[in-house]
Structure formats: C-alpha cells, structure tokens
Amino acid sequence: MKLSVVIVNYRTPLMVVDAVGSLVDDPSLPSGTRIVVVDGGSGDDSAQVLAREIAARGWAGQVDLLALTENRGFAYANNRGIEHLRAAGHAPEYFLLLNPDTVCRPGAASALTSFLDAHPAAGIAGSRLEDMDGTPQACAFRFPNPIGEFESEIRLGPVSKLLRQWSNLAPVSNEPTEVEWVSGASFMVRASMVDQLGLMNEDYFLYYEEVDYCLKAARAGWQCWYVPASRVVHLVGQSTKVTRRNEELPRRPAYWFESRRRYFLTNHGRFYTFMADLAWMAGFGLRRIRRPLRKDTHVPPHLFGDFVRHSVIVQGRNIPMVSG
C-alpha cells in the first residue's frame, strides 16, 4: 500500500467531511489509500456526525472513524491514528497527516508520494498551503533560533533584510525546496522513518510538535522538503481559532507558550531558550515602541505579559505537563 491518511477532528466535523471529500474525490489518489478520522475527545456530537456522514457518503470501505475518549492533543491523536491503521493491517509506505481545516487540490497527495518515491533521502514532505483564491501561505521554515525570533517580532523591513539568513521563514520558489521544517497542516512522512524515529512527541499538546519531529528527523540524517506541486487550501485557524485572519485575535492559549518553551528547552537547553526569549521580547517591545498609538488587531490581547509569564526567565527549567 502506498498511502494512509490521518485527519484529527476536534469539534469541526463538517470541515473534516470536506477534507475527506477532497481526497476521496481525487482520481489521482493512490489506489488503496486508507483514511482514518480521529475524533480527539470532542465532547460534543462530532463522532456521531462523522459516523453518519461516512455512512451516508458511502465511504465506509475507505474511511475509518476512531473516537477517542479524551483530548490529549494533536500529536497524541495523530499517533493513535497511525497505530489504528497499522493494527488494522494497513502498512503503507507513507502517512499523510492532514489538518481538519484543509481542502486538497486535485493531485495534492499524489504529488507528495511521487516526490518521496523519487527522493529516498527525504523523510518528510510538505504541501504548498494557500488561501481559497490561490494566495500562498507561509508553510516552509527554518528551525526557530534567537535571531529569527527577534526578526519575526520587530517586523521592520531594513532589519528583516539584514537578518534574512536567520529568518524563521525559509526562502522557497515554485520548485521543490529542501527546508528545515514544514507546516503540519499537510505533512507526509515516510513510514520507514517513523519506524526508526518513533511517533511524534505526545508531550506537546498543540503547536511545535511538527517542528520537534522535523528536528529529530534532521538529526537522524533525513531530509525535509517543501513540494509546491502539492497544493492544499488551508482555512487558517478555523480549527484552533489561534491564527484567524481578518478579525481580532483572541488571547493566545497557554499551551502555545508551553509548547514553545518545551521545544527550546528539550532541544537546546536553558541558555539558548533564554536568548530566544530575550530576543522575542526585544523584537516585540521595539515594534510596540514604533507603533504606540496604532491598534494592531493581529496582536492577541495580553501577548507580551503572557509571553513573559511563560518564559524561561520566569519559569526556569520547568517543562509543563500536557494540558488543553
């Protein structure tokens, strides 16, 4: 079998139906592809809606529903999906981990499998994410670093130009590009690499789990690629509500800060984390000084104070428990 797909739902069942439909209606989807929808303990009627839609649309022979009883995060739910597929006897060459707030353009999945077929050193491949009108989204990156944290927050053209080689955003083109990490919204992994590395770290509730996994893969010698021929519409923030566009953002949840701190501490140690935190605060502070009277609806309320409270400066070596 070439491919299996895992889609995690949390209280967005109709969006998941659209995501599944975009796959099963694609004639280029590799033959025999199995899809599992994992309901991550939604606590509403999501599982019932999904079961009904899968049956009504005649997908039962291709799509499984795995309803979990608790919400322990994105990595946890994806891992249970992979385990479910393997326990059911599905042993694909590749797993596609797909966000619920996505719609795959025709050929999106097959473009990733074809690329990985042709590049055996590549363990991870990510899609070009875009708006419904085709506008590209940021989806290929460098690993987080102190200079990149400063540049991402100051948002000043001359500074960004000067620091571009450390920017968190990786330069990409319309051709496949080797990068350090790709967005987990459409994230294909080689099954043999998963056998070697293990599953994603379930200590991350949400955010940074794919960054951590890409770093783990890189340290084991695997390549990560951005593949723009694979085009996926990403309805940004519709599943998490953290990164919504064109409207005032809500307060950023604690788990974002906790995941960020976990990533830096576990992978780079306390001093590096301290420098990354200090750089972020300096960049953000200088941006606010430049625009003191301008209301920025794309800055979540209390962001600076929340960041400081969750920083290594205040929390020290404390690595948080998983929580939603």
Specify the pLDDT at position 322.
65
Residue 133 sits in the same domain as residue 40: yes
124/259 same-domain check: no
SS (H, E, C) the chain: CCEEEEEEECCCHHHHHHHHHHHHCCCCCCCCCEEEEEECCCCCCHHHHHHHHHHHCCCCCCEEEEECCCCCCHHHHHHHHHHHHHHCCCCCCEEEEECCCEEECCCHHHHHHHHHHHCCCEEEEEEEEECCCCCECCCEECCCCHHHHHHHHHCCHHHHHHCHHHCCECCCCCCCEEECEECCCEEEEEHHHHHHHCCCCCCCCCCCHHHHHHHHHHHCCCEEEEEEEEEEEECCCCCCCCCCCCCCCCCCCHHHHHHHHHHHHHHHCHHHHHHHHHHHHHHHHHHHHHCCCCCCCCCCCCHHHHHHHHCHHHHCCCCCCCCC
| Residues in a beta bridge with 124 | 189, 224
- Among 234, 268, 296, the domain boundary falls at 234
- pLDDT, tens digit (0-9, with 9 covering 90-100), for 139-157: 999 999 999 999 999 989 9
Domain span at residue 285 reads: 254-315
* Confidence category of residue 291, pLDDT binned at 50, 70, 90: confident
Classify 19 in phi/psi space as left (phi over 0), alpha (psi -120 to 50) or beta: alpha
Establish if 168 belongs to a structural domain.
no
* Domain of residue 91, CATH code: 3.90.550.10
pTM of the model: 0.94
Q: With the CA atoms of 160, 166, 172 and 177 taken in that order, what torsion angle do they form, in degrees rounded to the nearest 10? A: 180
pLDDT for residue 324: 57
The answer on 134 and 278 residing in a single domain is no
Asked whether the beta carbons of 224 and 179 are under 8 A apart, the reply is yes
Q: Is the pLDDT of residue 94 over 70?
A: yes
Does the pLDDT at position 180 exceed 60? Answer: yes
Instruction: Judge whether residue 296 has pLDDT over 90.
Output: no
What is the pLDDT, as a whole number, of residue 290?
A: 80
82 in any annotated domain: yes
Q: To the nearest whole number, what is the mean pLDDT of the chain?
A: 94
State the pLDDT at residue 32: 97
127: tokens are 């899609």
> What six digits make up the tokens of 156?
């000043």
Statement to judge: residues 52 and 85 lie in one domain: yes
- pLDDT bracket for residue 242 (50, 70, 90): low
- Whether residue 7 lies inside any domain: the answer is yes
Query: Per residue in 239-267, is it b (16+ CB within 10 Å) or e — as a string?
Result: bbebeeeeeebeebbebbbbbbbbbbbeb
- Same-domain pairing of 212 and 73: yes
Region 199-218: mean pLDDT is: 98
- Summarize pLDDT for 41-87 with one digit per residue, the tens: 999 999 999 999 999 999 999 999 999 999 999 999 999 999 999 99
Per the structure, the count of domains in the chain is 2
Q: What is the pLDDT of residue 248?
A: 81
Tokens of 45: 């009627």
Q: How confident is the model at residue 238, as a pLDDT? A: 66
